[in-house]
Structure 1
Amino acid sequence: MNQPLEADTTARRAILDRLNTRTISAPPLPDVDPSQVITYDDPVQEFLDKLSLVGGEATFVDAAPQAEEVLRQIPVFREAKRVVSVFPEAVPGTMSTDGIDDPHAFATIDWMIARGEFMVAENGAIWIDGNTLPHRVLLFIAQYLAIIVSQSQIVSNMHQAYDRIENYDGRYGVFVSGPSKTADIEQSLVLGAHGCRKLQVIIVRD
């Protein structure tokens, strides 16, 4: 019987160590001319258009606590048993993350309620501050995702977005758009293949 070959970890480690000792010079990043990047007269409407294009939905409310009323109009939220919320003053959760160290414990979450820091008009993305998340996997493992964000917190493009987070010192942060989708199999679009099946954005007027 043929025995499986064991990876030569010593050789692999030696190669990686040699690569780490090499200094590779790279050209500096180009300076961005602000007058040449795209901006919008109505960035909120552009955000709504782009979000719809990628399969997300948005609803406006006058105050964050009204977000729960919006979600309760969605049948899969009304039927949800396991809801994790990092914005409990807007939407209370039914499952606490206290004392849970193993991310696998969240495998059966129905909804995740997240707090968005700001929106990006050109691609319909929202920046999530990882400091608000007890576990980063919560954004991606839940069946459905709702993000609550302020209407005034919006930028036109990713250049402005990166300027905004240039000095971000959190342990983790991510731009989220969605829902998750893939068309790898037979070029047939499937939603929710690698993450949430639905993204509901709730925009608080201010």
Structure 2
Amino acid sequence: MSRESILAAIKKNQPEQQALPDLDAFRRTGPGDPAAFRKVIETLGGQVFEISSYAEIQALIAEHQPDARKIISLQEQYLPGAITEWEAGDGGRQFENVDLAIIPGQFGVAENGAIWITDVEIKERVLPFITQHLAIVVASQDIVPTMHDAYAERIAHPGGGFGVFIAGPSKTADIEQSLVLGAHGAKSLTVFLYTPKP
């Protein structure tokens, strides 16, 4: 049988066109639930602190990350005195001794605790993965209900060249079905859920 006859037979036996499913049933109206978002993050092994001012971050870091020495904070108001700009390095090696990175998140997803991060915020893609501990600041008003809402409304037209959802600390249970945190990324995730005072 020739190539042309095979292709002709395939073309002749194409299934009928079907309308795409209506996905609007998955859409939610209104904002996501910060309490549900918090519950999922904590279930995944992370911790959430609700703050009304960035000034609260410093005391929380001192209490919960007392051993952190090399701290990068991508926005100075998160942690005054921390490193805000990194020295030039080769392939991210300048980050290998970072104890804690504090970075902004664009938004969070209530149904699974995922936080959307892009290279617009972090510039160096390796930072959230190579740091020993990761803290993300996200506004409570920027919580969406579902991943469908996240894709349909927030990242349908992404502005950066790189984006990733981060949900909880790095973990795996592949080895002897034993849960290991920090297997291939940050050992812990802290979320500062920011709600400014009215």
The question of 1:178 aligning with 2:168 is answered yes
2:153 is the alignment partner of 1:153: no
Q: 1:130·1:174 contact (CA, 8 Å) conserved in 2?
A: no
Deviations 1:65-115 (A, max 9, x none): 2212211111xx222221111122111424731433531121111001110
- Pick the aligned partner of 1:113 from 82, 95, 102: 102
The answer as to whether partners of 1:82 and 1:95 remain within 8 angstroms in 2 is no
Q: Is the aligned partner of 1:97 residue 2:97? A: no
Structure 1: runs of 5+ lacking an equivalent:
1-26
Taking structure 1 as the reference length, the TM-score comes to 0.78
Q: How many pairs align?
A: 178
The answer to whether the 8 A contact 1:86-1:114 is kept is yes
Counterpart in the other structure of 1:80: 68
Q: CA RMSD in A?
A: 2.3
User: Structure 1 residues 37 and 145 mapped into 2: Cα distance closer, same or farther (>3 Å)?
Assistant: same
Contact conserved, 1:55 with 1:179, CA < 8 A, in 2?
Answer: yes
Match in the other structure for 1:13: none
Equivalent in the alignment of 1:139? 128
**Where does 1:1-206 land on structure 2 (aligned, <5 Å)?**
30-36=20-26, 43-74=33-64, 77-92=65-80, 93-94=82-83, 96-163=85-152, 164-206=154-196
Change over 3 Å in CA distance of 1:116–1:41 after alignment to 2: closer
- Partner Cα separation in structure 2 for residue 135 and residue 66 of structure 1: 26
Q: Which runs of 5+ in 2 are unaligned?
A: 1-16
Moved over 6 A (4+): 38-42
Is this contact kept in 1: 2:26–2:148, CA < 8 A?
no
- % identical equivalent positions: 36
Over residues 19-78 of structure 1, what are the superposed CA-to-partner deviations in whole Å (9 max), with x where a residue is unaligned? xxxxxxxx999444323457899611111111111111100111122212211111xx22
Aligned to 1:21: none
